[in-house]
A = this chain, B = another copy of it.
Amino acid sequence: MSQPRGPLSQLRRGHEELVLGLLRKHGPLSRGELGKRCGLSRTTLYDILAALVAGGAVVTATPQEAPRGRGRPAETLTLNPDAGQAIGIDFARRALHVAAVNLAHEVVGSASEPHDADLPWEQRVELAARLVGSLTGTGAGALRLGALDAIGVGVVGVVGSRAAYDAAHPGTEPDGGVAPHPAQMLLRERFGVPVLLDNNTRLAALGESIWGAAAGGQDVLYLRLSHGVGGGLVVGGSLHRGAYGLSGEFGHITVEPGGARCDCGGTGCLETVASIRAVLDAFRAAGGRAADVPELVKAVRAGEPTALTLLDGVGTRIGEVLAALCNAIGPSVIVIGGELAETGAALAGPIERALHDHVMPVSRHRVSLRRATLGEVAGALGGIALVLHESPLLSRYPAGPDLAQDPTPDKELR
């Protein structure tokens, strides 16, 4: 271990990191909100904030609108938007999505590019670097991640519980020794910063809970209806992973005992009823004509009874599963994403009806069902959220010891 510096300067540094961590996690906060969350005395906090503002790491802003009858609105503090950007990359099966957010939590830009499913990792990372360069205006070679210094990455498949990789810090191998994912190693090599990794559907859940349909939601259930059926849970504002990284597998809940065989090895899974392929196959078997989801959406908009009846049945199954999960987990918001959500009310209606019929009556009016809003960059944005919330490498206070878990409306300390 390196020699510790003087205890006082070290304590001060710890408090600075605590404050920076809270601003990284929450975005703009007033001094009063910061005071409640950090637990420092007003004197200490103001002293530290003054130094951070003087140093350029933190900037102040006055909100445009004053709350009614409250006089001068409270000045907020935020990480300096020019001090760096957070980058998220979603390595989906056949496409790559990237997004950048500045340190004030504003989405700076996003981009996507399709590719073959068998594109080697070296080329995927090359492509990612190019897309990131186009977003940040720095060019791939000159990318400066600035004060953030980490990349959040989504990949397909099962990812364990602690998947940060930083070659510069021994002991950060994901899952206590399991080899890092190829994307992690290549990105680490390329950008020289730690790389955090998680399942891309789970990351989409986190993205929707921060920038999307469930923005601000602390307890969110996200269901994606795409080529596969999966999802993710946000619990108390954080991504839920489960004991072995095996959570959010809503698509493999049995809905038809003894039903069709599923890719997971089981039978009668929700995915065998509610995936794109399952729905299109069933539509054609019932005499409908649709080669893909846009054509199915057309049939729905034209009011074709075959399509409506089919989606009614599929939606009912989905709503029953969601009701069971609501009773168990108690989310405040359910977000439905994926291409099949584009069928709109034809699917959302029966989902909502079955949810209403099967959730505990006392919960009926407490859970809100919404359509995802982030589209295909949800996973890349979730990668950024991973960095903003969880990077164990950035700070000794990763997400801040967030004392005010249930914050009351802003009250200034003075």
Contacts and interface: CB of A to CB of B under 8 A. Distances in A.
A6 to B, nearest CB: 10
Given A233-B328, A324-B324, A246 B362 contact: yes
Contacts of A366: 243-244, 246
Secondary structure of the A contact surface, majority rule:
loop
A105 interface: no
Given A254-B358, A266-B361, A328-B325, A397 B408 contact: no
Contacts of A42: 1, 4
A240 B248 contact: no
Contact of A7 (B39, B44, B330): B44
A401 interface: yes
A249 interface: yes
| Number of copies of this chain that the complex holds | 2
A8 interface: yes
Contacts of A332: 243-244
A247 B328 contact: yes
Interface string A143-158: 0000000000000001
A396 B39 contact: yes
Contacts of A162: 405-406
Interface residues of A, number: 71
Interface string A379-414: 000000000000010001110110101101000010
A122 to B, nearest CB: 28
Contacts of A257: 320, 358
B330 A176 contact: no
Q: Which of A330, A392, A406, A408 has the most chain B CB within a 10 Å cutoff?
A: A330
Contact of A358 (B171, B218, B235, B266): B266
A172 to B, nearest CB: 11
25 contacts: A4-B41, A176-B406, A176-B408, A233-B328, A233-B329, A235-B235, A235-B240, A242-B329, A242-B330, A242-B331, A243-B331, A245-B330, A246-B363, A246-B366, A247-B328, A253-B323, A253-B327, A254-B358, A257-B320, A264-B360, A266-B361, A324-B325, A325-B325, A392-B403, A400-B401
Given A244-B332, A249-B363, 6 more contacts: A4-B41, A244-B363, A247-B328, A249-B327, A250-B327, A265-B362
